[in-house]
């Protein structure tokens, strides 16, 4: 089973306290990956890097952060991917090459990584990790030897690689940000006093007290050097196809991606569910965290009271991204606990963001029944998953997707619900407030921007 990555990146140029800024930025992006993390700083062309397996607060101690000097820094949080859960795959990646040193942090997945890696290995390249990110780093270093600047090397590489990516590249004097030509992966720019920041979500800007400036455009390269910002057109921009799953699940609700509030998009999803799949119930509850805003929207539209029905153990990582089925099952058991006094004797409608394999929601339905709920109706704030994602969201192959094997009535019976309702792909445009289909919904429809 292939599981692809979803990570978080944060970079800053022009801050005397750059390591600390990245540290707090990564804390706010911890939801995007709990497997490994790291920070690389640039002190007058001397790059230092600290990274390891675990959460930001565990890996990046105060002592380690205080030893990282410089005014440019990049950071990364990651979870287990097709590259494997090993320390070697932690980022940022630091590369020594003929022109000096480069460090990169990358969110996303390349669709042509295997062929590119084989081509490079045939020419004598030696790889130390199994990540797409090292392929990108090697390509940039290779192209830099024949181009006048790092940004020109990045531009050439963007014409070679395919897939979804948000990329930060740190050279001795520059911080460079690049976004894939479809805008599949989010990337924003902000300012903190005189410092310039790039990161995956606006919530990370707010965490360090920075001002949001704008989203990086699809196919755009932005270079910061000596306090100056300039934009470089890669020449490969496509029509916007941002990842719809950022709004459904991955992003924090307080983030705004490409001008659209994540929280409001999720509430819209709940409102649509209430109109399309009404039910006669006593209370609405949401699965923390990404189901809560949709539940509030369902409640507002239906008039059914919203109640907090689950207590979440905040110290358990996301079950969706656990690397093995056994780990997922164990995490579900300890992650959520129903509040019996809220659900006992009640007809409950539970709102969740998605059903992938079906194990998690089946456990939740069972827990609610054991806690005394008389009926449990399930509403899902996304369409059924029908296809894998090749761009960096954890949607596995069809054989592992319950909606590819069973009908909706069959799924309803398998998870033990009294009824089940999903959004339809045509609802997603309404969910985003009429965004004219400027998003990728391939995991639901099979309409891939590029393969």
Alpha carbons 215 and 217: distance in angstroms, whole number: 6
User: If you compute the radius of gyration of the chain from its CA atoms, what whole number of angstroms results?
Assistant: 22
* Tokens at 101, concatenated: 């040193």
φ/ψ region of 145 (left if φ > 0, alpha if ψ in -120 to 50, else beta) reads alpha
Alpha carbons 264 and 368: distance in angstroms, whole number: 27
- Do residues 269 and 216 make contact, with C-beta atoms less than 8 angstroms apart? no
Element (H, E) at 126: none
- Do residues 76 and 137 make contact, with C-beta atoms less than 8 angstroms apart? no
Q: HSE (CB half, 13 Å, CA atoms) of 132?
A: 29
* Tokens at 319, concatenated: 């079950």
Bridge partner list, 10: 75, 199
DSSP symbols for 249-289: IIS-TT-EETTEEHHHHHHHHHHHHHHHS----SEEEE-TT
Alpha carbons 357 and 325: distance in angstroms, whole number: 10
Give the Cβ contact number of residue 17 at 10 Å.
Answer: 15
End-to-end CA distance of the chain: 19
| Identified catalytic residue from 7, 18, 243, 440 | 7
Burial label, 2 (beta-carbon count in 10 A; 0-12, 13-18, 19+): middle
The values of phi and psi at residue 230, to 5°, are -140, 145
Report which DSSP code applies to 41: E
Q: Is 7 one of the annotated active-site residues of the chain?
A: yes
Alpha carbons 268 and 428: distance in angstroms, whole number: 9
Strands 188-192 and 211-215: antiparallel
Alpha carbons 407 and 403: distance in angstroms, whole number: 6
Q: Which residues are catalytic?
A: 7
């Amino acid at each position: 089973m292939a599981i692809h990555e979803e990570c978080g990146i944060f970079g800053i140029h022009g801050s005397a306290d750059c390591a600390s800024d990245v540290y707090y930025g990564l804390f706010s992006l911890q939801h995007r990956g709990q497997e490994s993390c790291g920070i690389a700083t640039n002190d007058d062309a001397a790059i230092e890097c600290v990274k390891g397996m675990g959460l930001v607060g565990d890996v990046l101690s105060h002592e380690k952060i205080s030893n990282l000097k410089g005014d440019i820094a990049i950071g990364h949080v990651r979870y287990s991917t097709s590259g494997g859960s090993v320390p070697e795959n932690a980022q940022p990646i630091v590369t020594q090459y003929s022109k000096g040193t480069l460090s990169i942090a990358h969110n996303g997945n390349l669709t042509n990584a295997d062929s590119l890696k084989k081509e490079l290995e045939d020419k004598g390249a030696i790889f130390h990790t199994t990540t797409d990110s090292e392929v990108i780093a090697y390509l940039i270093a290779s192209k830099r030897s024949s181009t006048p600047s790092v940004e020109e090397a990045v531009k050439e590489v963007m014409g070679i690689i395919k897939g979804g990516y948000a990329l930060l590249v740190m050279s001795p004097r520059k911080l460079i940000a690049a976004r894939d030509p479809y805008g599949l992966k989010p990337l924003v720019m902000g300012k903190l006093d005189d410092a310039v920041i790039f990161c995956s979500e606006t919530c990370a800007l707010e965490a360090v007290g920075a001002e949001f400036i704008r989203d990086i455009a699809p196919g755009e390269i932005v270079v910061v050097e000596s306090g100056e910002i300039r934009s470089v057109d890669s020449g490969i921009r496509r029509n916007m196809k941002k990842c719809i799953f950022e709004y459904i699940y991955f992003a924090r609700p307080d983030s705004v991606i490409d001008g659209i509030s994540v929280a409001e998009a999720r509430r819209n999803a709940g409102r649509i569910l209430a109109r399309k799949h009404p039910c006669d119930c006593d209370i609405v509850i949401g699965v923390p965290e990404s189901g809560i805003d949709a539940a509030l929207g369902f409640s507002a539209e239906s008039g059914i009271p919203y109640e907090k029905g689950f207590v979440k153990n905040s110290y358990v990582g996301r079950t969706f991204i656990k690397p093995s089925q056994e780990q997922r099952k164990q995490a579900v058991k300890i992650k959520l606990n129903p509040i019996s006094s809220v659900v006992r004797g009640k007809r409950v409608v539970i709102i969740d963001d998605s059903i992938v394999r079906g194990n998690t929601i089946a456990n939740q339905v069972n827990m609610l029944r054991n806690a005394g709920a008389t009926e449990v109706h399930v509403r899902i704030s996304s369409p059924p998953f029908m296809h894998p994602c090749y761009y960096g969201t954890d949607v596995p192959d069809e054989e592992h997707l319950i909606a590819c094997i069973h009908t909706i009535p069959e799924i309803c019976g398998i998870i033990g619900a009294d009824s089940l309702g999903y959004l339809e792909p045509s609802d997603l445009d309404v969910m985003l407030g009429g965004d004219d289909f400027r998003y990728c919904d391939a995991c639901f429809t099979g309409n891939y921007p590029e393969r």
